[in-house]
Amino acid sequence: MFYNSYLLVILHYVLYVSAATYNWNVGWQTENPDGLQPRPVIAINGQWPPPTLYANVGDTVTIYLKNGLGNETTGMHFHGLFQNGTASMDGPTQVTQCPIGPGETFTYTFQVNQPGTYWYHSHNGGQYPDGFRGALIIHDPSIPYQYDKEEVLVLSDWYHSQIPDLIPGFLSTTANPHGAEPVPNSALLNDNPTTSFSIRPGKTYLFRIINVSNFASFLLKFDQHQMAIIEVDGVYTVKQSTDLIYITAGQRYSVLITAKATAPGQNYAFVGAMDPDMFDCYPCSNVPLNATGYLVYDSSKPLPNSEPTFPSYTSGFYDDFSLVPYDKQPLLGPVTKRITFNVESGTYFNQNRFAINGNSYVEPKVPTLYTVLDAGHEATNPAIYGQYANPYIISHNDIVEIVVNNGDSGGHPIHMHGHNFQMVERSPPFTTPHKYSGTPTTTPPATPVRRDVMKVQASGYLVYRFRADNPGVWAFHCHIDWHLTAGFFATIIEAPLALQAQSIPANHIQACKHQHLPYRGNAAGNTHNYTDLTGANNAPPVYNTGAYCGNCKPS
Ligand SMILES: *[C@@H]1O[C@H](CO)[C@@H](O)[C@H](O)[C@H]1NC(C)=O
Ligand SMILES: *[C@@H]1O[C@H](CO)[C@@H](O)[C@H](O)[C@H]1NC(C)=O
Ligand SMILES: *[C@@H]1O[C@H](CO)[C@@H](O)[C@H](O)[C@H]1NC(C)=O
Ligand SMILES: *[C@@H]1O[C@H](CO)[C@@H](O)[C@H](O)[C@H]1NC(C)=O
Ligand SMILES: *[C@@H]1O[C@H](CO)[C@@H](O)[C@H](O)[C@H]1NC(C)=O
Ligand SMILES: [Cu+2]
């Protein structure tokens, strides 16, 4: 009797726990995840691979993040979470907070109401590929699909050099080859060269697949096992069966994999293959592009010695544009605000950079969110945020349509914070830049797929919509960290006057104060005259080195 009620109390606690609290200290330690070269990585509480952050829908998550790096600032973003009502917890530095200085402890606290597959990562400079990134899973007691067991599969590219050492070479206009992104040294599965999942006949497995790459897109295929896609980027979908998926940096897929009904007497391989399309060393014969993992039915049997193959990097995978959200949310409209982002690559500030509508992003002196909260009625004037913050203001409950015209010959995983968005149109890749005409070439889907990262094809365009029902300052950027660092970034200032009902926690202000960083006023820190931007940052940091180009082959 006593035993039973005790169990019930425990069960109740497990199912309805309402707070998830973490004390995380980030610090350097040496790891060798691909077995090819040890290097310093950013670990959490001495643990690397970093822990998966689990929560339940409805929980309040609190993270006391201590910067134990000693020699670098940091910051943390929760990719895919809307931070509805908690805009100050979003994490990108100089957008919603100051960088966290060495020795500082910074508190993130917010409620999670979105089920599904997310991830966390540093959003400070180009820091996350040095190891500060991991899975964030939000469990949903009413998930509309049945499964027996959940597995997490984190795909990642991996570099032997640290990002701060590679950035100058990428930005340099004199490096050879010029404009070549450093090519990763290997592909990792759950931060190892290979990984195995133990499989039992007749069971159904939910694989939560997350691409935490800096650069590489992955194709994923399981030998003789179909995947049924049920979620993308936190949005449940109508089940779609496929044997090949394509995942860009930042994207997530949940797939159901049903094991063979009876013991097959063998094991099966799967492959996570990096798409070398944008690798300037292509064919990259020195880069292990493919990581092979295993579905293990019988550990006494050998692992297969070949991996599943696929015929092409450009076709044969499931086109995410065709997915249908489970809730069948209809296409939003009519559009009340359209923003067009014309993206170019070229030489800006004497560096190899990207620009949006002619401006290559430069961090403002004051985090843009702090300027909004300080500016009173002037918050609706984009000029106060500084030209180089690429500020775009949208009004509360606007139906916003964003057009991304990609004037660059590479494809880009486009990401926006604070929302997921409905895909209205996506062009194929072109060899010369094609801009959106303003009217769709095909009828947009009646119930478009929603995601928070969508690839815009080389020289092509992307059109998406969302409702401006989440006041905040939301970063818009390419999720290739090289490109973000090179200025492929804009600031969406959503419902600034409504946003002024929110406030900044004292602990966040401390982080600015302790480093003597301005936290009030316009982009230049001017509190007397908001339209006076004298002293604002008008250029990015200067790098004087830059012959080094990572793993790419000089031409
Ligand atoms: C910070 O320290 C780590 C570990 O010693 C080192 O690998 C890294 O290069 C340093 N970073 C900078 C920016 O100096
Ligand atoms: C992850 O995304 C990057 C960038 O789009 C891509 O190049 C890489 O192949 C992806 N990796 C996987 C395993 O999907
Ligand atoms: C990786 O897999 C693809 C697709 O099967 C194949 O074409 C390619 O040759 C493989 N690459 C390497 C380096 O093994
Ligand atoms: C944010 O919360 C408001 C109020 O509950 C709601 O109307 C709105 O749809 C939410 N927005 C998002 C993006 O979740
Ligand atoms: C504020 O600064 C702007 C730009 O420098 C200037 O044109 C304007 O006169 C100033 N306003 C006041 C009240 O000083
Ligand atoms: Cu990009």
Which position has the higher pLDDT, 12 or 277? 277
Residue 37: the pLDDT is 93
CA-based Rg of the chain, rounded to a whole angstrom? 23
Return the ligand 4 atom nearest residue 419 CA: 13
Average pLDDT, the chain: 90
Q: Residue 247 — very low, low, confident or very high, per pLDDT cuts 50/70/90? A: confident
Distance CA 422, CA 416 (A): 12
Q: Residue 383 — very low, low, confident or very high, per pLDDT cuts 50/70/90? A: very high
pLDDT digit string, tens, across residues 165-211: 888 888 888 776 677 788 888 889 999 999 999 999 999 999 999 87
Residue 543: the pLDDT is 67
From residue 414, alpha-carbon distances to 477, 478, 527 in Å are: 6, 5, 34
The CATH architecture to which 1-144 belongs is Sandwich (2.60)
From residue 204, alpha-carbon distances to 98, 141, 150, 221, 266 in Å are: 45, 17, 9, 17, 18
Q: Residue 274 — very low, low, confident or very high, per pLDDT cuts 50/70/90? A: confident
Q: Is the CB of 535 under 6 A from ligand 5?
A: no
| Residues ≥6 apart with Cβ < 8 Å to 177 | 280, 549, 552, 554, 555
Residue 284: the pLDDT is 57
Q: Residue 212 — very low, low, confident or very high, per pLDDT cuts 50/70/90? A: confident
Residue 479 in this model has a pLDDT that exceeds 50: yes
Full strand arrangement of the beta sheet holding 245-247: 196-198, 290-296, 268-274, 218-222, 245-247
Q: Which fold has domain 337-514?
A: Immunoglobulin-like (2.60.40)
Q: Is the CB of 162 under 6 A from ligand 1?
A: yes
Q: Residue 2 — very low, low, confident or very high, per pLDDT cuts 50/70/90? A: very low
Residue 187: the pLDDT is 85
Where is average pLDDT lowest: 12-26, 175-189, 276-290? Answer: 276-290
Question: Mean pLDDT over residues 406-418, rounded?
Answer: 95
Which residue minimizes the CA distance to atom 6 of ligand 3? 309
Q: H or E segment at 15?
A: helix 2-16
Q: Class of the 146-325 domain?
A: mainly beta
- Could you give the maximum distance between any two Cα atoms of the chain, in Å? 77
User: If DSSP codes are grouped into helix, strand and coil, which group holds residue 13?
Assistant: helix
Residue 250: the pLDDT is 76
Tokens for 242? Answer: 């496929």
Q: Is the CB of 537 under 6 A from ligand 3?
A: no
Q: Residue 214 — very low, low, confident or very high, per pLDDT cuts 50/70/90? A: low
Length of the chain: 555
Q: What is the DSSP letter of 93?
A: B
Q: How far is the CA of 275 from the centre of ligand 2 (A)?
A: 7
Question: Mean pLDDT over residues 56-82, rounded?
Answer: 95
Residues with CB under 6 A from ligand 4: 82, 84, 419, 469-470
DSSP assignment of 46-88: TBSSPPPEEEETTPEEEEEEEE--SSS-B-EEEET---TT-GG
The label of the residue with tokens 């365009």 reads 461
pLDDT digit string, tens, across residues 341-382: 999 999 999 999 999 999 999 999 999 999 999 999 999 999
Q: How far is the CA of 319 from the centre of ligand 5 (A)?
A: 52
The top-scoring range by mean pLDDT among 161-170, 244-253, 514-523 is 514-523
pLDDT digit string, tens, across residues 131-153: 999 999 999 999 999 999 999 99
Residue 38: the pLDDT is 96
The label of the residue with tokens 């945020």 reads 385
Residue 12: the pLDDT is 43
Distance CA 216, CA 201 (A): 33
Residue 280: the pLDDT is 65
Residue 366: the pLDDT is 98
Residue 551: the pLDDT is 40
Return the ligand 4 atom nearest residue 84 CA: 1
Residue 514: the pLDDT is 94
Residue 553 in this model has a pLDDT that exceeds 60: no
Residue 119 in this model has a pLDDT that exceeds 70: yes
Distance CA 533, CA 529 (A): 8
Share of the chain above pLDDT 70, in %: 92
Q: Is the CB of 532 under 6 A from ligand 5?
A: yes
Every domain range in the chain assigned CATH 2.60.40.420? 1-144, 146-325, 337-514
Q: Is the CB of 314 under 6 A from ligand 3?
A: no
| Residues ≥6 apart with Cβ < 8 Å to 555 | 176, 177
Residue 235 in this model has a pLDDT that exceeds 60: yes
Return the ligand 3 atom nearest residue 285 CA: 13
Share of the chain above pLDDT 90, in %: 76
Q: Residue 316 — very low, low, confident or very high, per pLDDT cuts 50/70/90? A: confident
Residue 9 in this model has a pLDDT that exceeds 80: no
Residue 80: the pLDDT is 95
Residue 262: the pLDDT is 97
Q: Is the CB of 378 under 6 A from ligand 5?
A: no
> Which of 527, 529, 530, 533 most suits a substitution to test ligand 5, by most atoms within 8 Å of the C-beta?
529
DSSP assignment of 148-182: SEEEEEEEEEE-SS-HHHHHHHHH-SSSSSTTPPP
Q: How far is the CA of 441 from the centre of ligand 2 (A)?
A: 28
Residue 555: the pLDDT is 34
Question: Which ligand lies nearest to the CA atom of residue 70 in the structure?
Answer: 1
> Which of 31, 48, 72, 166 most suits a substitution to test ligand 1, by most atoms within 8 Å of the C-beta?
72
Question: Mean pLDDT over residues 422-449, rounded?
Answer: 95
SS (H, E, C) 225-272: CCEEEEEECCEEEEEEEECCEEECCCCEEEEEEECCCCCCCCCEEEEE
